[in-house]
Every structure is written in structure tokens, then in C-alpha cells.
Amino acid sequence: MERPLTIGQLAHATGVPAKTIRYYEQIGVLPAPRRSAAGYRHYSRHAVHRLLFMRRNLHEVIASQNKMLERRGETSETEDERMIELYRSHLRRVSALLRHGPHFRWIDLQYTAVLESPRAEAERIRRFLGRDLDLERMAAVVDESLYRNRAEARSARGG
């Protein structure tokens, strides 16, 4: 029989605080775990390996980071194109890990698709997680006004 994870172990394995895990249970993103006789949460090891992978145009990511640095009065020591090269290399390694890791299940979400069709993307997430989620509430929290760097990214790459 599989040895369950405690909330602390799950938090450590995922890098997500226990408080956030409890919140995810509350809103239905994570299924309610089994409980020990003493009432402690016991999670399946499978809970560690379901990933929602948000993909975004890297020029937009760089534009967003540059704005953040500007607001903080800082500058980047690395040229934008070099940062994009580093990100792409990292993403290739992550993708290989996901493809070849036997215990990973993931869904790719496109940032623009979430902004343009939040209800449809929420439905994709619901199907992937196999959970009864409140799709209207999920879609309602998408705020397209946060998509600020679209124009700056286009002009940065000459498009």
C-alpha cells in the first residue's frame, strides 16, 4: 500500500505552502484528502504530479520584468534576447522532464487563451483535474487588464 503524504510533506514536495493547499481543497482544485484516525490529512503521492503549465510569449514576459525592474529603480544586467535564450533553454529542460517523468501529468495553458476564453480554459482545467469546479467563479477572476505588456512586446520585437 502506498504511504500517504502529510500536508507538510506535500507542501515541501510541491513548494506550495500548507495554507495554500488547504485553500485549494476548499475551492475544489484538490480533492479532499483521506484523514487519519487522529484527523490528519493524508494525501496520495499522485497529488504531487499534476501540473497546470502556463505558457506565455517570452517577449511579453521580458517586457513585464523590465517594467517591474523600472518601478523598483533597477535595471537588468542581461540583454533581453539573452534572457529569452535562457528561458527557452530552461523550458526545453522542463518539457523533457515532464515528457519522460513517469509520474507527471500536465496540461499546457496559453496565457492569451485564458484571457480570451476564460470559461473554455476553466473547462479544460476541470476535465484535466477530474474535479467538479465552479467554472463561472474561475472564469470571473480572469482580469484582462493585467495583460499590460502585449503592445510593448510587439514593438520590442518589431511587430
Is 72 in the same domain as 140? yes
Is 96 in the same domain as 63? yes
Q: What is the extent of the structural domain holding 31?
A: 1-43
Is 74 in the same domain as 60? yes
Is 79 in the same domain as 100? yes
Question: In the structure, what pLDDT confidence band is assigned to residue 72 with cuts at 50, 70 and 90?
Answer: very high
Check: CB of residue 84 under 8 Å from CB of residue 56: no
Question: For residue range 27-58, what is the model confidence (pLDDT) as tens digits?
Answer: 776 778 889 999 998 987 665 667 888 999 99
> Among 53, 80, 54, 84, which Cα is nearest to 67's?
80
**What count of Cα atoms within 13 Å lies in the side-chain half-sphere of residue 75?**
3
Question: For residue range 77-112, what is the model confidence (pLDDT) as tens digits?
Answer: 999 999 999 999 999 988 887 777 656 678 999 999
Is 134 in the same domain as 96? yes
Is 123 in the same domain as 48? yes
Are β-strands 41-42 and 34-35 bridged in parallel, bridged antiparallel, or unpaired? antiparallel
Is 59 in the same domain as 131? yes
